[in-house]
Amino acid sequence: MPKKHRSNTVTGTSRTSVDVLLAEDVDPLGQQGQIVRVKPGFARNFLLPQGLATVATEHNKRMVELHKQRVEKQQVEHLQALKSLAHSVSKYSVTLEAKANDDGLLYGSIGASDIAASLQAASFDVQASHIRLEGPLKQHGLYTVNVQLHESVTAELKVWVVPAAVG
């Protein structure tokens, strides 16, 4: 009598392990796009039915490599754009008007959102979260403020806080 072939086996497997391509982040295994080796039962009973992974065929492996190359190229281009923005920001200076008493102490304070709004008005794509202040600016004067656009891209920005025009 011939042996029956199991109909629910995962193709491309051995008895001890199977390579799967993670379709989503799976906490103990890895991140989306990684190829990991797991037990066939784990792949067959959990990862594949839940849609968390697919069998790592040669075609899938090639597609993942192409995708990684595209993402890497985009990251390099994005980093270049941020470096260009940082260079432009470092050449620019912001002038903010604020009311103050006779000693130059502001009646309010200037924060990161005020500086970011001024940069955005000058067509720089800088958010308040990029501005690194040690505290709000509370006096008239010239300040050097760090602008961190990326973990590896920073710029120094000159901020002038001047008395508001009376009128």
Q: Which amino acid makes up residue 84?
A: S
Domain locations in the chain as residue ranges: 18-80, 84-163
State residue 2's pLDDT score.
56
> What is the Cα–Cα distance from 145 to 90, expressed in whole angstroms?
10
| Identical topology for domains 18-80 and 84-163 | no
**Could you tell me the two tokens for 74?**
């985009």
**Band of residue 14 on the pLDDT scale cut at 50, 70, 90:** low
Going by C-alpha positions, the residue among 50, 43, 58 that lies closest to residue 10 is 43
State residue 28's pLDDT score.
84
Question: pTM of the full predicted structure?
Answer: 0.66
5 pLDDT above the threshold of 70: no
**Band of residue 93 on the pLDDT scale cut at 50, 70, 90:** very high
Q: Longest C-alpha distance within the chain, in Å?
A: 104
Question: Average pLDDT in the 23-30 region?
Answer: 89
Q: Given this structure, which CATH class describes domain 84-163?
A: alpha beta
State residue 67's pLDDT score.
87
Decide yes or no: CATH 3.30.420.130 for domain 18-80.
no
Report how far Cα 83 is from the mean position of its chain's Cα atoms.
Answer: 15
102-125 pLDDT, tens digit per residue, is: 888 898 899 999 999 999 999 999
State residue 73's pLDDT score.
96
Going by C-alpha positions, the residue among 93, 92, 107 that lies closest to residue 163 is 107
**Could you tell me the two tokens for 4?**
């029956």
